[in-house]
Structure 1
Amino acid sequence: MRKKPRDKQPLKRWKKSKLEDLIHRALLDAEDDEEQQMAFFEALEEHLQFPFKTALDGVPLLVKGLTVGEDDEVLAVCVRDGEQIGLPLLDLPLPKPPPKGAEWLEAYRLWVSE
């Protein structure tokens, strides 16, 4: 099931046509919503370089990887103050400079918003 992003629109760093191409590549063999969600999860795991640092509401985070929550939402596995937590991937801002493969996260945000 697609989760709507929470006020996180695709950055203007990448052209929409590039992001749409990544969406097509990620979902090429997926048929239903569940398969599409898992296909995007796998594409993100493959292309997004971990770990990377970011901050949420001014609190520094180390993003170590991804997991899928109980409701099939993609979660970022983060370390905050030595504690490992899962946060919705769509809620995390990209750091500057973004990690390698960040265009896949922006493609995911675009796909979820459509």
Structure 2
Amino acid sequence: MPAWIRAELDALIAEATVDAYTDDEQLTGLYTMIEARLAVPFQTDVLGAPVTVERVVLTEAGQIVAICLRGGVRQAVGILDLPLPDPAPEGAEWIAAYRRWTGL
């Protein structure tokens, strides 16, 4: 994954959270940008197995997850736990911005 400059990530965070006042609103703003900008589907490996990332969802528990498909079985994987392929898909900088926002 490319190394993004902190200032670039901060600008993305500011764009996603411009009208957000609470953490929940900021999370929703970041999710909206990831969902809109991340190019899916794409292929990656999860625990050594190839999967197709079909989409990204925001759970009721407030977690952004990737819905991964392998052999007809779907599994939700936390977006921050998802290994990205090289090269990363278009829009992956939004995942990096989300990671920075969480403080990880």
TM over 0.5: yes
Runs of 4+ in 1 over 6 A off after TM superposition: none
Distance 1:95 1:46 in 2: 19
Query: Within the alignment, does 1:20 sit opposite 2:17 as a pair?
Result: no
1:53 aligns with 2:43: yes
1:111 lines up with 2:101 in the alignment: yes
Code of the aligned partner of 2:10: E
- Separation (CA, whole Å) in 1 of partners of 2:2 and 2:75: 29
Name the CA distance, whole Å, in 2 between partners of 1:70 and 1:79: 21
Deviations 1:66-102 (A, max 9, x none): 1122311011111022211211111001110110111
Counterpart of 1:65 in 2: which secondary structure?
strand
Question: 1:23 is matched by which residue type in structure 2?
Answer: I
Q: Distance in 1 between matches of 2:84 and 2:100?
A: 14
For residue 108 of structure 1, give the secondary structure of its aligned residue in structure 2: helix
Match of 1:80 in 2: 70
Give the conservation status (yes or no) of the 8 Å contact 2:16–2:29.
Answer: yes
Match in the other structure for 2:57: 67
Give the drift of 1:12.
5.4
Between the aligned residues of both structures, percent identity stands at: 38
- The answer to whether the 8 A contact 2:35-2:57 is kept is no
Counterpart code for 2:77: L
1:92 corresponds to 2:82:
yes
Matched pairs, number: 104
AA in 2 matched with 1:35:
E
- Unaligned runs of at least 5 residues, structure 2: none
